[in-house]
Amino acid sequence: MVTMNGSSPMPSHPSRRRLLGWLGAGLVLPMASACRARPAPPKEVFPVQHSEAEWRRLLTPEQFYILREAGTERPFSSPLLNEHRKGTFACAADRQPLFASTTKFDSGTGWPSFWKPLPGAVGLRSDSSFGMDRTEVYCRRCGGHLGHVFDDGPPPTGKRYC
């Protein structure tokens, strides 16, 4: 039992502060556990492979964070968002062609979005990080994280790769 400065024991009913503390912990703990680093995907062998040190030398810190650590760039920060020239969008890690410019659209999300990848260019795997079930998109040649695919894109596929 806890006492304060030798006075009588504190009341047995929970104080407002204690109650708020327990409520806060009940909200924060599930989110904190969901935000842990996600488990590494099964070891897949990709045609382009480098050690972590080599990837760090080949990529900028932001590219490494996104492609190798499945990070996310800030919305509306990508120079590709306003890229409207005809051509092909490629993986920043290995230059694998990924998306034709004709499949790019403005999703309003703040990230470059496409409704279809080039044939055989990307792979998909389940991603349950941050307490959500999503489908991760990765480069089939180097395994680099490219984002996620959602079912709210335009016709003809109804997909949004971003």
> What are the two backbone dihedrals, phi and then psi, of residue 132, each rounded to the nearest 5 degrees?
-120, 150
Q: Contact, 87 vs 98, CB < 8 A?
A: no
Residues with catalytic function: 162
Q: Is the peptide bond before 9 cis (omega within 30 degrees of 0)?
A: no
Residue type, 91: C
Per-residue pLDDT of the chain (162 residues; tens, 9 = 90+): 222 334 444 444 444 444 344 444 443 334 333 333 444 455 689 999 999 999 999 999 999 999 999 999 999 999 999 999 999 999 999 999 999 999 999 999 999 999 999 999 999 999 988 888 999 999 999 999 999 999 999 999 999 999
Q: How far is CA 43 from the centre of its chain?
A: 19
Specify the pTM: 0.73
